[in-house]
Each structure stands twice: as C-alpha cells, then as structure tokens.
Chain A
C-alpha cells in the first residue's frame, strides 16, 4: 500500500493541532496582557 497519503495526512493533522495550540496561546496571552495593562492603568488614574 502507498504510504504517502497517510504520511501527508499525519503531518497536516500535526500542523493543524500544533498551529491551533500556538495561535490560541499567543492570542490569549496578548488579550491577558492588554486587559491587565488596562486594569492597572485604570487603578493608577484613580
């Protein structure tokens, strides 16, 4: 049996899973930083 389609499918699935993990983590980190900065600047203003 030709293994190439299975190899390609495995690497595509891995790229999707790892890519989703990385993008989700970076977006969450950026959002958390932005919200914390806003909350701290709000407190400093008062």
Chain B
C-alpha cells in the first residue's frame, strides 16, 4: 500500500521530480539494513555474555536478510543518484559507510561458516558484529559530520519532519511494511533453523542407538 501510494499518488518533488519515488524503497531498506545490524549486535551480546543458543541461530538468520536489504539500499540509491546527481556512485561518506555495512554483513556470514567447529564461528562472528556496530553512528551522522553529496536527514526523532505529509505518510507505511516483512522472514528462517537442528539431533540419536 505504501509503495502504491508512493508510486502513483504521492506528488513529485519540486527539485528531483519523479525520481523521488525511489525513496519509498531506498529509505526503508536503509533503515532496515541498519536496524538488522543492531539486532545482530544484540544477538552477539546475548551470545557472548549469556551463551544463549537461540542468539547464535538468530544471528545466522539475520545476516543474509540484512545483507539483502543493504544490497537493495545500495542498488536503489545508485539508481536514484544517476537522475538526481548525474552519477551512479561517489565515494561520499554516507555511501561508503553503507557499503562498509554491506561488507560487514558479508564478513559475518562468511565467518560463521569459516570454522569446522560452529561454536568458534559463532564467537568470531559475534566479535565482528560488535566491532562493526561502530559503523552505525557513522552512517547516521555522516551527512552532518562531512560535506556529502547525499542529502541530510529529513526525518529525526527529536524534531519535526522536514517532509510534506503527502510524501511522509506513504514512506512511513512502506517502512512499516518492510519492517514486518523483515521480521516475518527472519522468524520463518529461525523456525526452519530450529526444526533443522531438531531433525539433526533425532537422526544423530538414531545413529547412536543403531
């Protein structure tokens, strides 16, 4: 509904024209890529401090979903940049820090699978997730700290939005839809992972008893 509203009903921007309609995909995917990494870091804390087994499983499942949203953010941002800035890519602070987040996700996915002992993989990936969390404030404040081609924040928790309500409403609906999709996909994958683990333990018990 948010995407339909943004695509067909919301007005074009006075400066960017219709290219602003990419915002309804780009901004929610950027928020979710960052929120997903925050969840990954929370799982890392739960894994390292409390050794919670579900935290490791959750981290394994959040990684690929977060990486997909980070990739979507980079691709849609690049496609938005061409008609707006005249280029697909610049090594601007916001774009570069978002690319670093994507590589952090890929590193996390690779580290988990890099060890024969899964526990060592979970531990190494948790440490990477905690170190990588430094990138989140850099992404957020990059448009304030440096002179970037990327526009500044239009929405903030501490001040009124600088955006017309006819554009803000579809953006918020789209963000809500993307968040529910992210949560549903992660929960479904987590449920599958728990079932796979249970199947493995049943088969192992069968082999041992034979």
B interface residue numbers (CB < 8 A to A): 3, 7, 16-19, 21-22, 25-26, 29, 65, 68, 71-72, 75-76, 79-80, 82-83, 86, 181, 185, 188-189, 191-193, 195-196, 198-199, 202-203, 205-206
B196 lies within 8 A of A42 (CB): no
The 30 sampled A-B contact pairs (Cβ below 8 Å) are A1-B83, A2-B83, A3-B18, A6-B22, A7-B7, A7-B22, A11-B7, A13-B79, A14-B72, A17-B72, A20-B68, A21-B65, A25-B185, A29-B189, A29-B191, A29-B192, A31-B192, A32-B191, A32-B192, A32-B196, A32-B199, A35-B195, A35-B196, A35-B199, A36-B196, A39-B198, A39-B199, A39-B203, A39-B206, A42-B206
Contact between A43 and B76 (Cβ–Cβ < 8 Å)?
Answer: no
Q: Name the 3 nearest CB pairs between A and B, nearest first.
A: A3-B19, A32-B195, A32-B192
The tally of CB-CB contacts under 8 A between chains A and B is: 91
Q: Classify the secondary structure of A's interface with B.
A: helix
Interface size on A (CB < 8 Å)?
Answer: 30
CB within 8 A of B18: which of A4, A20, A21, A31? A4
Residue on B nearest A18 in the bound complex, by CB? B181
CB distance from A5 to the nearest CB of B (A): 9
